[in-house]
Structure 1
Amino acid sequence: MDASLEPLKARRLALLLRERIASGEIAPGSRLASEPALALEHGVSRVTVRRALDSLAADGLIDRRVGAGTFVREADAPKPIVADFANMLTHLVEMGRRTGVRLISFAYAQPPEAVAQALGLAAGERTQRSVRVRLIDGQPFSYLTTHVPERIGLTYSESDLASVPLLALLERSGAAVDRASQTISATLASPDVAEALALEIGSPLLSLTRVVFGPDGRGVEHLHALYRPDRYSFQMELHRAGADGDRRWSPVPSRGAGRDGEACPWAPSTVAEG
């Protein structure tokens, strides 16, 4: 047996059991099969099973009781945050009330070329770059890297950013928010992100890149957000639209209200966080 493969087998088994627990296939409070039975079922050694169960126990998914067996824990973690595509501005304010933030870095520097182009910056124009971790009930769920043009970033301080949602700081600066463009994908946690989000290196993450623009078309914020998928998800309401032969799913127009009580005109293409 190739010993170098054992950690990979253990991770694969842990992910499989995690998925069965998350889907409800293995119900909370139920007893898992014994280590020998799991080893036989999945064609691995007992050492591999033990490593997989150790990983699940470390994440608080199971309880290992001496002489009794291994049991799936009752869900006691906070429900994951669900970001509603259809009402970004209101949700951003609510996010600021429900969650905490830990500021990791705050500096002024030349942004990467891709960020400068996305924001439409002039040659040599700097940005205020910050890295923050958002928490819900003290547990990290997102890793945020933001770039704001220096002319706007100078209107708030490091202590402001550690206590006030960025959207509120942008509005306070007088920067008008008109529309946004964003992309959602998936990625794996690098060592620094994994440490900040209390995950293993290489854990799967949701990745969102959003650029916010003012009425003049100039960028006011570039956000790259990484989310723990077990603590954050995206939601959009859809309805059937179009004539016969051209039927399709379309976002439901926002029924929520923005700051001034008006429906957010760019809500279907946006998502909360700032």
Structure 2
Amino acid sequence: MVQVHSPTPLYHRIYAVLRERIVKGYYPDDRAIPSEAELSESFSVSRITIRKAMEMLTAERLVTRTRGRGTFVTKRTKEDEFNKAVVSNVNSLFSYLNDVGKSTRLKVISLDHGEAPPRVCAEMGIAPTTELVRAVRVRLLERRPYSLSTAYILPEFGGMLKRQDLAKTNMIDLVQQAGATVEQVEQTMTATLADDYAAKHLEIPVGAPLMLVKRLFFNAELKPFYAAEIFYCADRYEYRVSLKREDGKDFSLGRT
């Protein structure tokens, strides 16, 4: 093992390596991953250390351990369908969100009114003291947490939200039902790590890798009215974009 003097426990470092291998498809679904004895020899650690790492992977449902057969990477079905989505405009984004909504279940964590973090206020172009509607939800896929989202909405579009509606309807549908017109959406994606709050609701270890997707929705006057921050488990979410050459838009490198 590298970084012998790292403050991170050895079993957690091995867990991180194995987790990365699973996420990247290093281990085929139809074959058992190496045994505890084989991994122990490979990493030059005790079987107890390997067992602790495997327990963490099992707790995340990344692997399934079967007595007499071995340990296999947990198969993913609906998740892979979501990962194939290519989003290129507002309509395709709404179509994607609709597909996700049909195959998942929502759990409402909180719904309240209050000030948003300074970063959100800056993005929305509002004063830091502006009161917004805040809604936090966990989306479940096949009974497991798939994402943790926080919505910040101007009161004129979110003031009438109810917990029972949040538990069964996509937020974008709710704000449009409230009279909002979505003219434009800006989206950014950032790699990050789970803090204690995200870890609790996504049922993952603190420090686990996450994908943070931020969306800013603009109305017909191109003014932001709704900001969303969604944390996805990095091993369950993939975003794809298809890039095509436009006719008559060839680019030539300059000569020096």
TM-score (norm 2): 0.83
Q: Does 1:153 align with 2:155?
A: no
Cα gap change, 1:193 to 1:21, in 2 (>3 Å): closer
Q: Unpaired segments of 5 or more residues in structure 2?
A: none
User: Where in structure 2 are the equivalents of 1:1-274 lying within 5 Å?
Assistant: 8-60=9-61, 61-63=63-65, 65=67, 68=68, 70-73=70-73, 75=75, 78-80=78-80, 81-82=82-83, 83-86=85-88, 87-121=92-126, 124-241=129-246, 242-245=249-252
Moved over 6 A (4+): 3-7
Distance 1:219 1:76 in 2: 36
Q: For the residues of structure 1 that align with 2:174 and 2:73, how far apart are their CA atoms? A: 41
Matched-pair contact (CA < 8 Å) for 1:134–1:142 = yes
* Cα distance change of structure 1 residues 7 and 78 upon mapping to structure 2, 3 Å threshold: farther
| Kept in 2: contact 1:57–1:64 (CA 8 A) | no
TM-superposed deviation, 1:28: 3.0
Does the CA contact (< 8 Å) of 1:7 and 1:48 recur in 2?
A: no
Do 2:184 and 2:217's aligned partners in 1 also have CA atoms closer than 8 Å?
yes
- Percentage identity across aligned positions? 27
Root-mean-square deviation (CA), in Å? 2.7
Q: Please give the per-residue CA displacement for 1:132-181, whole angstroms capped at 9, x wherever unaligned.
A: 11111222111001100112212332322222211111111111111122
Whole-angstrom CA distance in 2 between matches of 1:84 and 1:163: 25
Q: Which amino acid aligns with 1:71?
A: T
Change (3 A) 1:223 1:25: closer
- Report how many residues are paired: 243
Q: Distance in 1 between matches of 2:76 and 2:182?
A: 38
CA contact (8 A) 1:125 1:150 kept: no
Name structure 1 gaps, 5 residues minimum: 248-274
Matched residues in 2 for 1:163 and 1:186: separation?
28
C-alpha distance in structure 1 between counterparts of 2:104 and 2:32, whole Å = 34
- CA deviations on 1:29-83 (whole Å, 9 max, x unpaired) are 4344443432222122222122122223333414152xx4733256266434224
